[in-house]
Chains A and B, each alone.
Chain A
Amino acid sequence: MTAYALETKSVIKTYNSDSGVIHAVDDVSLQVAAGEFVALVGPSGSGKTTMLSMLAALLQPTSGQILLDGQDLSGMGDRERVSLRREKIGFTFQANNLVPYLSAVENVELMLRLNGKLDKAGKLRARELLARLGLGERLNNLPGQMSGGQQQRVAIARALIHNPSLVLADEPTASLDTERAYQVVETFAGLIHEQGRAGIMVTHDLRMCEFVDRVLMMRDGKLVRIYTGHDEIMKELVQGGRH
């Protein structure tokens, strides 16, 4: 039994193209503990989005293992992967995050509804979580009536409401201005630490690494460097602002 919430072992993802076999992800092994918030960074084409897709059980690795709470995702069938995404993973995406015809609170409650766990306590929890994210006055607003930052915060609440083991965020700040981006990531990091979830954020914006515990840097499909500790991250990435 692994001690990590998430662990990958020698994960490889290849694609066939006219010019030969492309290694989108090449032999990546990593571990993320419960309560740890990790950033996955790298230039375009480094394989971070492919890696995220495999961790999200949306894509099967060509080889290797992905273990979530000890369960191997790589051998799962479609139905099992859908159930796993619903029960054990929380998501926020870059854009089009929310269901446009559901209000803020309905979007959050949707995860409980999908898991058959929408009861009075769940409804109350959804409202409390949104209130903590500063959306107490926006519960019944539709996504179209909210700003990008507010929508991202609703998405964060939706990603956490069903107590998932793993929370994944794909460029959560891409459509936000700097101030709102900081607020969103700081809140996200706070909740992940507080609730003891394993969190992985894919980002281009190295400034956002200020709030994470570790930074995994990918290049050409490989995990090339791991930055650990606040000081190293701040010195090497945030203030340096370079890959």
Chain B
Amino acid sequence: MRQMLSISSYLAVKEVWRNRGRFLLVSLVIALITLLVLFIAALGEGLGNGNREYISKLDAELIVYQAKSDTVIAASRLGRNRLAAVRRVEGVADAGMLGTSSATLILPDGAEPLKVALLGVEPGRTGEPKVAQGAQLSTDLAQEAIIDANTAYRSNLQVGDTLTLRVTQGTRDEFYDLRITGIADGQQFQLQPSIFVPFYTWDRIRPKSEAEVNSSNPIANVILVKLQDPTQAEAVSARLTAQVDNVETATLTEAIQALPGYSAQQSTLNTQGGFTLFIGILVIGGFFQIQILQKVAQIGVLKAIGTANPVVAAASVIQIVVVTVIGVAIGGLLSFLFSLTFPPTVPIVFNGTTSALAIVALLLIGPLGGLVSIRYAVRIEPLKALGLSS
């Protein structure tokens, strides 16, 4: 076995080295495929992350929605009376309201205004993001805001600055000034730069229809629930739907899957990645198949002088692995260098696990693509290859 591997490696490496231009060309093709696959994976991760970031980082286990809202946050409406009922359910440690809407952040010096997600959260309750700089929100009615790092990057706003929001209420555009108390790290909501304000402030400044302008009954979208024992999510969920009128619940994972467009977006990107890998298999398979066809006589000589089939097969596998590893390494390096040039606002995230999975898949496409050529090499008859057959 050791001798077989030694001869196979010798033949494989010699051939690659003596034909390095040709093999490097294939490695470069694999590098480009790697670049594409890693960027698709990173884009999927970045878009997915931007979509789910706020929800996935919540210090909560369950989200309570209005019944029949199909666990879509924007479609759900819950009043304060439900919040009180939720807090009374056994197993609930804390619950906080979350209101979602959009607004326009007015930037100084005539810069392009920024569309942002305006989120109402209860200070000190579940749902308020933890700040990385500055302080948390103080009271339910304070004219304060926490902005996420993406908003800070795009607007150049800092802790202590005052931001101005423009919202449409009824038929008029209204402007609201809020003092920034803190900046939270990575808290985008559905891929939008986010601004978190105290819930009652939110209810006052959010976009409203003409009918809502004079309403004094604050309505949240959903209630975020933190449990006393996170392992009891199923039992508490059942109690919530039984004891609170007209609600349905979802875990954070279910809530993320229900985010508008999230699943479709992820499956589209996964399909793209899969197809790219499939194309990679075909390209590598095609190259090695052509190469084997060109080497029929040479393999025939090797077999005629006593080279065993496992040696021929192992040499082919080693060649394919070498070429693939070099290609993936070059592609990985190029991806890393390119990633350094992207600003943080571009939703491309090279997550360790996702990238590692993509690299494993890329390393497998070589041997998979080469399977046909290896089989062909093993089946070459020295008699026919050398023109000795009658």
Contacts and interface: CB of A to CB of B under 8 A. Distances in A.
A93 B301 contact: yes
Interface stretch (A95-103, A187-195, A203-211): A95-103
Given A52-B388, A99-B298, A106-B14, A83 B7 contact: no
B298 A100 contact: yes
B390 interface: yes
A97 B301 contact: yes
A53 B3 CA distance: 28
Interface in A135-181: 142, 158, 170
Contact of A111 (B300, B305, B308): B305
Nearest to B302: A99
B297 A96 contact: yes
Interface stretch (A26-34, A35-43, A68-76, A84-92): A84-92
Given A52-B388, A82-B308, A142-B18, A113 B301 contact: no
B306 A101 contact: no
A65 interface: no
A59 interface: yes
B17 to A, nearest CB: 8
Given A93-B386, A96-B297, A102-B14, A114 B306 contact: yes
A183 interface: no
Contact of A15 (B11, B302, B390): B390
Interface of A is mostly: mixed
Given A58-B382, A96-B298, A111-B305, A101 B18 contact: yes
A86 B307 contact: yes
Interface in A1-45: 15, 24
Contacts of B307: 82, 86, 114
Nearest to A47: B390
B305 A50 contact: no
A120 interface: no
A170 B385 CA distance: 14
A60 B384 CA distance: 14
A56 B14 contact: no
A86 B15 contact: no
Contacts of A85: 304-306
A158 B18 contact: no
Contact of B390 (A50, A89, A100, A158): A50
Interface of B is mostly: helix
A82 B306 contact: yes
Contact of B388 (A89, A113, A170): A170
B35 to A, nearest CB: 30
B10 interface: yes
B245 to A, nearest CB: 79
A97 B383 CA distance: 13
Contact of A49 (B3, B7, B18, B388): B388
A87 B305 CA distance: 9
A116 interface: yes
A218 B164 CA distance: 104
Contacts of B7: 113-114
Given A53-B388, A58-B388, A96-B386, A83 B306 contact: yes
A79 interface: yes
Nearest to A93: B386
Contacts of A79: 308
A101 B389 CA distance: 26
Contacts of B388: 49, 52-53, 58, 170
B24 to A, nearest CB: 15
Of residues A83, A95, A101, which shows the largest number of chain B Cβ atoms within 10 Å of its Cβ? A101
A153 B387 CA distance: 21
B80 to A, nearest CB: 80
Nearest to B385: A96
Given A15-B390, A100-B298, A101-B15, A58 B10 contact: no
Nearest to A25: B390
Contacts of B341: none
A69 to B, nearest CB: 16
Contacts of A106: 14
A101 B14 contact: yes
A177 to B, nearest CB: 22
A56 B304 contact: yes
Contacts of B382: 58
Nearest to A81: B306
A86 B305 contact: yes
Contact of B305 (A15, A49, A114): A114
Contacts of B309: 82
Interface in B319-362: none
Nearest to B382: A58
A83 B305 CA distance: 9
B311 to A, nearest CB: 8
Contacts of A58: 304, 382-383, 388
Interface in B262-311: 297-298, 300-309
A94 B301 CA distance: 11
Which 6 A-B residue pairs are closest in the complex by CB-CB distance? Answer: A86-B306, A101-B18, A96-B297, A85-B306, A101-B15, A53-B388
18 contacts: A24-B390, A49-B388, A52-B388, A56-B304, A58-B304, A58-B382, A79-B308, A82-B308, A85-B306, A89-B306, A99-B298, A101-B15, A111-B305, A113-B7, A114-B7, A114-B307, A170-B386, A170-B388
Given A53-B389, A95-B297, A100-B298, 9 more contacts: A24-B390, A82-B309, A86-B305, A93-B301, A99-B302, A102-B18, A111-B306, A114-B306, A115-B306
Interface of A: 15, 24, 49-50, 52-53, 56, 58-59, 79, 82-87, 89, 91, 93-102, 106, 110-111, 113-116, 142, 158, 170
